[in-house]
Amino acid sequence: MPGDQEGRDVLAQLLVANDAEVTVRLRLSAAEAARVCNVSPRQLIYWTKKGLVQPSPDDEHDYDVLAMEKVIRIRQALEKGNSLEKAAQLVEKELAALESEADRLARLTARDLEEELKRRLERLEERVQQLRRSVGSTLTIARLRKAVVTLARLENEGALHAATAAPGDDARAVVLRLGRAVDELESLLREVQPAAV
């Protein structure tokens, strides 16, 4: 029904408009927060008892969005091989840097903030262009590498009797020459790409 879709669109806009308020007020129980953060309730409670995560100031059995963000970041740091203490330190440092940056941005005038955002957008657009250039060459090298592997397999199976690049070359020599050319191309691209960044 068209009326239902219009109502949903209006509701979606309202929800987006009130997103900050919803985020600030959202509280989940330990079990719910653990599920959302992809940790066990036991881990969450242990981290809370160790003082690594603070429950909601309104209810010691609930966790707000900031606490859940911290839990997720600690879990991610653990997945990278850090100890629990090191993970918590890294997360504290990250969150302090984010808070400092948010404070800095809040102090900017509207005009300065707009200029800051324009500069960031320009840097992102430059990075996207660099990635687009390197992805093309990377895909080409990947195709060449696949061709070398396929040729080597065919040569080993004896399927490349007459496939030669120049008189006197056998199939094995063709495969080796192509492999060296791909290696050299990859090496040149590695030298050129950092200069573009």
Q: What are 144-159's pLDDT values in tens digits?
A: 677 767 766 766 666 5
Verify that 64 and 118 share a domain, yes or no: no
Verify that 88 and 175 share a domain, yes or no: no
Q: Which domain holds residue 130?
A: 110-196
pLDDT attached to residue 173: 65
CATH number, position 98: 1.10.1660.10
The pTM score is: 0.53
**pLDDT at 16 exceeding the cut of 60:** no
Residue with tokens 């330190």: 89
Verify that 101 and 119 share a domain, yes or no: no
How far is C-alpha 95 from the chain's CA centre? 18
Verify that 101 and 120 share a domain, yes or no: no
Residue with tokens 């989940």: 28
Report the C-alpha gap between 74 and 44 in whole angstroms: 11
* Cβ–Cβ under 8 Å, residues 69 and 54: no
Verify that 123 and 150 share a domain, yes or no: yes
Verify that 89 and 136 share a domain, yes or no: no
Task: Over range 118-134, report the average pLDDT.
Answer: 81
Report the C-alpha gap between 159 and 151 in whole angstroms: 9
pLDDT attached to residue 73: 93
Opening angle at CA 25, ends 19 and 31, nearest 5: 110
